[in-house]
Amino acid sequence: MKLARVLLAAAIATAACAATADAQNRKVKIATEGAYAPWNFTNAQGKLEGFEIDLGAELCKRAKFDCEFMAQDWDGIIPSLTGKKYDAIMAGMNITPKRMETISFTQPYAGGPHGFLTLKSSPLAKLPTGDYNLTKDLAGAEKVIDSFKDQFKGKVIGVQGSTTNSAFAEKYFKGIAEIREYKTTEQHDLDLAAGRIDVAVVAHTAATATIDGPNGKDMTIAGPAFRGGLLGLGVAVGLRKDDAELKKAFDDAISAAIADGTIKTLTIKWFKIDLTPQS
């Protein structure tokens, strides 16, 4: 009996070690859009770059995963995850209740406000500024939005489809302005530069990258900054609901990267500001 117990304990320990080793050496495919600078983008050589590419490599190193990034169109990024084309999403994706009906998320690894990108010559460039949280003060934020809706009458608003920005535009400006959906933010940026739309609803991080780019010299971020609520609860890794092991490994790696300042360093590198999630 004593020998049997010893052998059983040894077998359990061996199996646990093997499971840990398998988890640590797991090959993980991560999807990103490759068209959302500076979060993720494709450079002139066709290589993926950006904050999430750097962060993903760091998280995989900490979790001892063998990771591979792949580009995936935004409009099919969640269905392809649930269809097991890849294992995770790192694509500037905000946590929202609607998305959580289909997939799960890690804790956030970054956050930031959203707002309006327009031409410097536009009347919308003179919208009042401010910072409003749709989670903490929805009534206050909506009062501000209502105060300048008249200035959007007859305007054309560009948004990337199936995003928190498109949800924001639909909720607050449907029936007031024309809402035009695009496959990528790059496409609505080009139409804004050409005067085919009046304004785009975007994350400030993406807007800043556009302004700093070759087509953005005549553009500006206008009006208030908005965050929370239907704009999401922070950017995180998207995962299949049944992959608890992968979620724990990424959560642990994100916690460590926040604690030692790695995420702060990477966000300052790519966004010029600290976007570390606040507890």
Residue 18: what pLDDT?
A: 40
Give 171-187 pLDDT, tens digit per residue. Answer: 999 999 999 999 999 99
State the Cα–Cα distance between residues 126 and 122, nearest whole angstrom: 8
Fold of 2-111+234-271: D-Maltodextrin-Binding Protein; domain 2 (3.40.190)
Residue 75: what pLDDT?
A: 94
Give the β-pairing of 88-89 and 238-239: antiparallel
Give 213-266 pLDDT, tens digit per residue. Answer: 999 999 999 999 999 999 999 999 999 999 999 999 999 999 999 999 999 999
Domain with CATH 3.40.190.10 in the chain: 2-111+234-271, 114-231
Specify whether the backbone of 116 is left (phi greater than 0), alpha (psi in -120 to 50) or beta. beta
CATH number of 114-231: 3.40.190.10
DSSP string, 17-42: HHHHHHHHT-EEEEEE-SEETTTEEE
Q: What is the dihedral of CA 217, 93, 136, 226, to 10 degrees?
A: 10
Positions in the chain short of pLDDT 70: 1-24, 279
Residue 25: what pLDDT?
A: 77
State the Cα–Cα distance between residues 86 and 80, nearest whole angstrom: 7
Residue 279: what pLDDT?
A: 63
Residue 253: what pLDDT?
A: 98
Residue 24: what pLDDT?
A: 61
